Amino acid sequence: MDITKQKQNSNPTLLKLADYEDPILRQMTEPVSFPLSKEDKQIIESMKYSIQKDQLKKVNAPWDDAAGMAANQWKINKSIFIYCPNGTSENEIEVIINPSYEPLNDPSLETLTKDATWEGCFSVPLATGNVQRFTHIRVKYQNEAGETIVKELSGWPARVWQHENDHLYGLLYNDPKAGKCTEFHQFPTKEAVEAFYLQLREERKKEYESSGVSESE
């Protein structure tokens, strides 16, 4: 575990991100035992702290904000990830421990469905991939109190969950053995990545306008 201490005996501490080539990103993480040890509690508090925007800037993270982050992205071999259901660490965040999920049928189609959307990742800097994921899933995990939680997710929250859960199994979204990334782009600069996403948003807006449906519908 690579931790940069803000000040001696401070709590929490600032975590540094693993490089793309770090083998920990391609290894399955170890399950967490309950009740949580003092070390695990410290790790969780440091993860909550390190995912905040200001702290991501301090470690020169490739993205300004995070919808989630897995422990091994910070060189920590634990089955824990931070999950931001609203898509940003500035709002609600949840601590997910020993997670798993199973795909569910689309309620309207009564069959398993997938969709493809462009994803970025802190562990794959200056890149994006068009990734296929299940649209509806049932998740199971433990919270910090050790309680088992089961719930259903769909759409964007389901995508974020699957992305972070893959990390704990040693899979990056562009990993060929995962078989989920259908198109991959590498960029020379952060500004080029942002321009790509801006172009995608403009194209999507034009599609909605031509169909007569607003993006909010």
**Position with higher pLDDT, 73 vs 92:** 73
**Looking at residue 207, what is its pLDDT?**
76
- The whole-model pTM stands at 0.88
Query: Side chain identity at 54, as an amino acid letter?
Result: D
Residue 35 has pLDDT above 90, yes or no: yes
Query: Side chain identity at 169, as an amino acid letter?
Result: Y
Give me the DSSP letters along 22-48: -GGGGSPPPPPPSSPPHHHHHHHHHHH
**Looking at residue 85, what is its pLDDT?**
80
* Per-residue CA distances from 191 to 15, 127, 185, 194 (Å): 25, 11, 14, 5
The 10s digit of each residue's pLDDT in 131-188 is: 999 999 999 999 999 999 999 999 999 999 999 999 999 999 999 988 999 999 999 9
Using DSSP's 3-state secondary structure scheme, residue 185 falls into strand
Residue 7 has pLDDT above 50, yes or no: no
Catalytically active residues are: 164
Q: How confident is the model over 6-19, as a mean pLDDT?
A: 76
Second CATH level (architecture) for the domain 3-203: Alpha-Beta Complex (3.90)
**Looking at residue 9, what is its pLDDT?**
43
Residue 85: exposure state from Cβ atoms within 10 A (0-12, 13-18, ≥19): middle
Where are the chain's structural domains?
3-203
CB 82 within 8 A of CB 47: yes
Q: How confident is the model over 112-118, as a mean pLDDT?
A: 94
